[in-house]
Amino acid sequence: MVDFYKVGNKISTYRKLSHMTQDDLAEKLNVTRQALSKWELGISAPSINSLLSLCAIFETSFENLLCLNDNDRKNINLDNIFENHTRS
């Protein structure tokens, strides 16, 4: 499953590394700055076309932008979901 909060963080990071403002990137994508802000906050998700444009602008893969290859996913033991956590 895609975590759009993480995707938004990645978009924000790439934008800042590219020395672009939200207005700059929104203009390149033909979207509003408010729409881009919502993506970066994980409130909404970009369209497939916008995702493909972002990949081209940031010179990265679709899988990377969507955090599909991130290894920080936690393995959850469904038999004991509180494993390694206190119940308080």
CATH number at residue 58: 1.10.260.40
On whether residue 38 sits in a domain, the answer given is yes
What are the tokens at 46?
Answer: 């970009």
Q: What percent of the chain has pLDDT over 70?
A: 80
pLDDT tens-digit profile of 75-85?
555 566 556 55
pLDDT tens-digit profile of 39-69?
999 999 999 999 999 999 999 999 999 988 8
pTM, two decimal places: 0.77
On whether residue 70 sits in a domain, the answer given is no
The yes-or-no verdict on residue 70 having pLDDT over 70 is: yes
Q: How many domains does the chain have?
A: 1
Q: CA-to-CA distance for 14 and 46, rounded, in angstroms?
A: 15
On whether residue 39 sits in a domain, the answer given is yes
Using alpha carbons only, how large is the chain's radius of gyration in Å?
16
Q: What is the DSSP letter of 32?
A: -
- Specify the long-range contacts of residues 54-58, CB closer than 8 Å, at least 24 apart: 54/11, 54/14, 54/29, 57/18, 57/25, 57/28, 57/29, 58/14, 58/18
On whether residue 74 sits in a domain, the answer given is no
Mean pLDDT taken over the chain: 87
Structural domain for 56, as ranges:
4-65
